[in-house]
Amino acid sequence: MTVEDAILALVAAFVVAALATPLTSRLARAVGAVDRPRDRGLAAGGTPLLGGLAMLAAVLVAGLLFLDFGGILGDRLHGILAGAVVIALVGALDDRFDLHPAVKLLGQIGAASVPVAAGVEVTNITFPFLGAVDFGSAGAPLTVVGLVAVMNVVNLSDGIDGLAAGVCAIAAAAFAIIAFDLQRDHAGVLAAITCGAALGFLVHNFHPASAFMGDCGSNLLGLLLGCVAVEGAVKTQAILALLFPLVVLAVPFLDTTFVVLKRLKYRRPIYAADTNHFHHRFSAIGFSQRRTVLYLYAWTVCLAGFAVALRFVPYSDNGGSFDPGWTAVMAGLGLLVLAASVYLVYTLEILKFRVTLRRRTGRAAADVDAEVARAMETGEFQALRADDGPSGPRTPSA
């Protein structure tokens, strides 16, 4: 398998997903798998789900055409595709029948166990300055836990048109580059297929979306990205192998971590939807859905680019010696990514909220600062409308 195979596989997956999505939308409407307004989403409801089935079709078709199923790698690839089918079906049932969270979790564990049983398993990790750490018999269950975590991270981030599909496409592209550089060609092609499937679906999912991927799609992308990370980087001997997926998927990981901590703080169920996600916060300060998702894409690109740079910039000889010049370059890139992250998390959410509130309501600075402090404590920003005036939000006349 070569880079050319990966490019062709990406194109094939893109075409299949783009063509199949309208068909899955018709199926969704026929069986009643239609989105209902939820607290964690910004959609009004009524959009067909099951877009994940179109991505599954794209992955299976492109996989059969461009993946090499010979030898021991073939067993692992068969396991990944089988697990993909299982989680897509579990997600489709959830989209239609709204399964209990415990049932969904069991389905995720079952789907993750399929590729792990086929050999998609992390047995050891190489840490900088510490060397290899062997997990032994704990490798398999730890890998299952990791795959389930990635599935839920992607699932929880899917609350605005185009966000999950775009972020996963960017992440998959970064994983493909890293995997090929680590000579994990099978993982590189699988990552390219995942990227193509997400982009093909994004044709119909970018705002205003005509189709949603549903839990069917978000869990599918999460499982595929998790398997790609394991096969393409984590189970290699690369010193920064574990860091690559954490940096590439930092945006959904940070979003999920923040939301879960908020729910734990206020003693709410972890699985209960709320309005504490990044996209809700951007909406609360007046961002449109398109602007919100483009900012989050840009953040993901910055982090993914930094992860790729960690692999390609020769700042170290992997033996403990660092090149001063290239190390300075990496430090500079790291500071730029950190600055972009601070800008998005702090400036856009806090400072812009303060300025917007003062401008639109005409309230005193002290009152606004108190409101911002309250919002920071609770994590709940009151949405601002363009017609808000000095006396506060207008109410409709009777």
Query: pLDDT tens for residues 351-394?
Result: 666 666 666 666 666 676 676 666 655 555 555 544 444 444 43
Structure tokens at 3: 């880079």
Token look-up 């094939």 returns 12
Tokens describing residue 160: 């605005």
**Residue whose token pair is 């998005």:** 344
Share of the chain above pLDDT 70, in %: 79
Q: Pick the range with the lowest mean pLDDT from 70-84, 239-253, 383-397.
A: 383-397
Q: Which residue has the higher pLDDT, 179 or 287?
A: 179
Say if residue 367 carries a ligand binding annotation: no
CB atoms within 10 A of CB 64: 11
Q: Structure pTM?
A: 0.83
For the chain, give the mean pLDDT: 84
Q: Is residue 293 scored above 70 in pLDDT?
A: yes
Q: Per-residue pLDDT for 395 more than 60?
A: no
- Interval 12-36 mean pLDDT: 94
- Tell me the pLDDT tens digit for each residue of 223-246: 999 999 999 988 877 777 778 888
- Position 267 scores a pLDDT of 74
Domain boundaries, the chain: 3-242
More confident position, 350 or 94: 94
CA-CA distances (angstroms) from residue 391 to 284, 350, 361, 394? 19, 22, 6, 8
Across residues 135-150, what is the average pLDDT? 92
Compute the average pLDDT of residues 183-211.
Answer: 95
Instruction: Please determine, for residue 59, whether its predicted confidence score (pLDDT) is greater than 90.
Output: yes
| Structure-model confidence comparison of residues 242 and 91, the more confident one | 91
Among 198-212, 240-254, 304-318, 324-338, the range of highest mean pLDDT: 198-212
Q: Is 318 left (phi over 0), alpha (psi -120 to 50) or beta?
A: left
Mean pLDDT of 219-223: 97
Does the pLDDT of residue 254 top 90, yes or no? Answer: no
215 is in an annotated binding site: yes
pLDDT value of residue 235: 80
Most confidently predicted of 193-197, 271-275, 286-290: 193-197
